[in-house]
Amino acid sequence: MQAPSYLIKIGNRFYAQVRVPSDIAESYGRKQHKKSLKTNDHDTAVDRLHSAGVEIKAEFAKHRASLLRQKQEPAPVPAPTPQSFADLGRQYGREIAERELTIRADLYEEAVARPKEFWRGAAQKFSEPDQFTYFDKLMADGDLDRVVGYIIRKRSEDRIADLKRMIDTGDMGEVLALAEERQPGLDRKAHVALALTLARAEIAALQNSLSGDLEGHRTAPAQTSASASIPVSTTPALPPVSLDALFDKWKAETKPSASTLSTWRGIIKSLKAAFPEKADDASSLTPEDMIKWKDDLVESGKAAKTINDSYFACVRTIFGYGVNNRLVTANPGIGVKTARGRKASKTRFGYTNAGAARLLELARKETKPTLRWLPWLAAQTGSRISEVAQLWGSFVKEEDGIPYLDIKRAPDGGSIKETFSERTVPLHPQLIADGFLDFVKSKGDGPLFYGKSSGDPEKKHASKGVSTRLAAWIRENGFTDKRIDPNHGLRHWFKTHADDVGIQDRMADRLQGHATKTDAGGYYNPELSTMLTALKKIKLPPVSAGGDELDKASGG
């Protein structure tokens, strides 16, 4: 009986998973075979599941036939040729990429099924306090995608460092044994050359996995000549490409958000200013250059989180794209980071009831639409200000007598953080009583809170300026505690208040546009009437018990 196909989700991608039959499991090398369905849409994934399962089972049949041929006639050992070494390197790179995908899937499943055991096992891998602190925070937040990604990154970076040390020192016992297993009977020189080929193929495959290329199974060109000088590479030189050209090619292909473009342009500008003599040849930048740049950024007062999660995230992504597309030879940003210090002042809080009530009462007295309505819209749903700032009149609709917001991208170039952030949310009765629907009617079908946007995807949307001005107004009105983000503090408040008044987590996540904690949560799609019943539990403005020290200190 053939094993059935199962639909699983890793990160935001769906995969077909089939258990490897027991008669070939040992020689196949793994218990489960996973195949990407190349979509993040559930219905599309279901449509593709059957055909993917058929393809996987065809691979099982092909493997059985290969085993049978091997039993009948032992294959002769091919002569060591440059081409055979290259083929072995590419094959090994594909195996490593497939292994990384399987490990990632297994880690994710373990983290979901047994979080406590997963935490204990993974925590032992972090020798540096800042690494453990960050891992512990991700686990506490329940952000399993980032947890697994963080562990995979550390594991891959450690392995890359080990392989590079083996090549540099000549202590290559592990990869020499692998080379002997792949092609027995080589003389010493060819044996070492094949070992180098396999080591470099594994490094390239791991670097590609860190850049997100788990499906392409790309590997850097392996050293192919058995008689080449060791360890000098025979990879042909690539024509120089400037940092600007590399960035523009990445931008044209990936089409990032205007906000990312604006931020990352500044980062590339900073990198060019640090190494002006290398700006016209991105491949000339080395890990040592990156370390010097990192040290300069620390010296200039940049926060560790900004350096790691913004500056070097940009560099690793841009150069990862360059490596995958044969524009540059290596990614110099991999493994370079600064230590994160634990600082209480960096902890983010939400408004308490007293703070939220004071802010909403201030807004109620305003006549400018952005100040009057945006805090209330954020408080009624826990939305990001950026989501409600780009609302159009046509996004305010009614169904079965229930007015609701259709939260989505503005048609003139707006953006939403994640696909699942697009959602419908009923209007809170208090907003209706206060006249929000009359305001919408007066504005027509167009933007409610901004005039017009350029529509240029490379420029920030006009609603971004609205969000910035709102935050400034909140600060000007005495909400000065730096631990509370003036706009985002309402989103934090909603999450806490929803729990206080008995709204289920999955309902709160649905209202706020938060990612579900399990795949099953993605099937939860309550009726508008059910959501309205939950929203009515939120009191606007909230009633405060008083006496909150944080509110007294911060003004809210």
CA-CA distance, 277 to 279, in Å (whole number)? 6
pLDDT band at 107 (very low <50, low <70, confident <90, very high): confident
Q: Phi first, then psi: what are they for 424, rounded to 5°?
A: -110, 140
Of the candidates 534, 274, 300, 490, the one whose C-alpha atom is nearest the C-alpha of residue 402 is: 534
* One-letter amino acid of 547: G
33-42, 105-114, 233-242, 464-473: which range is least confident on average? 233-242
Contact 21, 3 (CB under 8 A): yes
Q: Phi first, then psi: what are they for 435, rounded to 5°?
A: 100, 20
Please measure the distance between the N-terminal and C-terminal CA atoms of the chain and give it in whole angstroms.
65
Q: What is the pLDDT of residue 439?
A: 95
Of the candidates 426, 424, 423, 443, the one whose C-alpha atom is nearest the C-alpha of residue 372 is: 443
CA-CA distance, 23 to 61, in Å (whole number)? 11
Across 112-121, 127-136, 166-175, 213-222, the highest mean pLDDT is recorded for 166-175
Beta strands in 151-262, from DSSP E residues, in sequence order: none
DSSP state, residue 447 = B
Contact 538, 497 (CB under 8 A): yes
Please report the sign of the dihedral spanned by the C-alpha atoms of residue 314, residue 244, residue 324, residue 178: negative
Taking only the tens place, the pLDDT of each residue in 380-431 is: 988 888 889 889 999 999 999 999 999 988 888 777 766 667 889 999 999 9
pLDDT band at 17 (very low <50, low <70, confident <90, very high): confident
pLDDT band at 32 (very low <50, low <70, confident <90, very high): confident
Q: What is the pLDDT of residue 122?
A: 62
pLDDT band at 1 (very low <50, low <70, confident <90, very high): very low
Give the CA distances from residue 326 to residues 128, 287, 312, 429, in Å, rounded to whole numbers and listed in that order: 35, 19, 21, 57
> Does residue 550 have a pLDDT over 50?
no
pLDDT band at 231 (very low <50, low <70, confident <90, very high): very low
Q: What is the pLDDT of residue 523?
A: 63
* One-letter amino acid of 261: L
Q: How many residues does the chain have?
A: 556
Average pLDDT score over residue span 320-335: 84
Of the candidates 324, 323, 335, 325, the one whose C-alpha atom is nearest the C-alpha of residue 283 is: 323
Q: With the CA atoms of 284, 287, 293 and 294 taken in that order, what torsion angle do they form, in degrees rounded to the nearest 10?
A: 160
Contact 179, 186 (CB under 8 A): yes
39-43, 248-252, 405-409: which range is least confident on average? 39-43
Of the candidates 347, 256, 264, 341, the one whose C-alpha atom is nearest the C-alpha of residue 305 is: 341
Average pLDDT score over residue span 51-77: 74
pLDDT band at 131 (very low <50, low <70, confident <90, very high): low
Contact 518, 112 (CB under 8 A): yes
Alpha helices in 300-368, H assignment, sequence order: 304-306, 312-324, 353-364
Of 40 and 533, which is predicted with more confidence?
533
Of the candidates 322, 512, 540, the one whose C-alpha atom is nearest the C-alpha of residue 418 is: 512
Q: What is the pLDDT of residue 88?
A: 84
Q: Phi first, then psi: what are they for 45, rounded to 5°?
A: -60, -40
Q: What is the pLDDT of residue 22?
A: 82
* One-letter amino acid of 542: P
Of the candidates 320, 93, 101, 97, the one whose C-alpha atom is nearest the C-alpha of residue 220 is: 93
Across 57-66, 173-182, 358-367, 490-499, the highest mean pLDDT is recorded for 358-367
CA-CA distance, 249 to 364, in Å (whole number)? 48
> Does residue 81 have a pLDDT over 60?
no
pLDDT band at 273 (very low <50, low <70, confident <90, very high): very high
Q: What is the pLDDT of residue 7?
A: 81
Average pLDDT score over residue span 496-520: 80
Q: What is the pLDDT of residue 72?
A: 64
> Does residue 483 have a pLDDT over 80?
yes
Q: What is the pLDDT of residue 222?
A: 38
Q: In the structure, how many helices (H) and strands (E) does the chain have?
A: 23, 6
Q: What is the pLDDT of residue 23?
A: 82
Q: What is the pLDDT of residue 402?
A: 95
- The two tokens of residue 79 are 């002569």
CA atoms within 13 A on the CB side of 119: 16
Map tokens 């524009």 to a residue.
Answer: 327
Of the candidates 367, 396, 385, the one whose C-alpha atom is nearest the C-alpha of residue 461 is: 385
For Cα atoms 499, 505, 508, give the angle at the middle one, nearest 5 degrees.
80
- The two tokens of residue 457 are 């995807």
> Does residue 346 have a pLDDT over 70?
no
CA atoms within 13 A on the CB side of 318: 29
Of 259 and 42, which is predicted with more confidence?
42
Average pLDDT score over residue span 245-252: 90
* CB neighbour list of residue 247: distance below 8 Å, 6 or more residues apart: 264, 265, 268, 318
Please report the sign of the dihedral spanned by the C-alpha atoms of residue 444, residue 447, residue 451, residue 453: negative
Q: What is the pLDDT of residue 534?
A: 92
> Does residue 344 have a pLDDT over 60?
no
Q: What is the pLDDT of residue 182?
A: 82
* CB neighbour list of residue 86: distance below 8 Å, 6 or more residues apart: 197, 221, 222, 224
pLDDT band at 212 (very low <50, low <70, confident <90, very high): low
> Does residue 77 have a pLDDT over 60?
no
28-32, 253-257, 400-404, 541-545: which range is least confident on average? 541-545
CA-CA distance, 172 to 178, in Å (whole number)? 10
pLDDT averaged over the chain? Answer: 79
Of 163 and 67, which is predicted with more confidence?
163
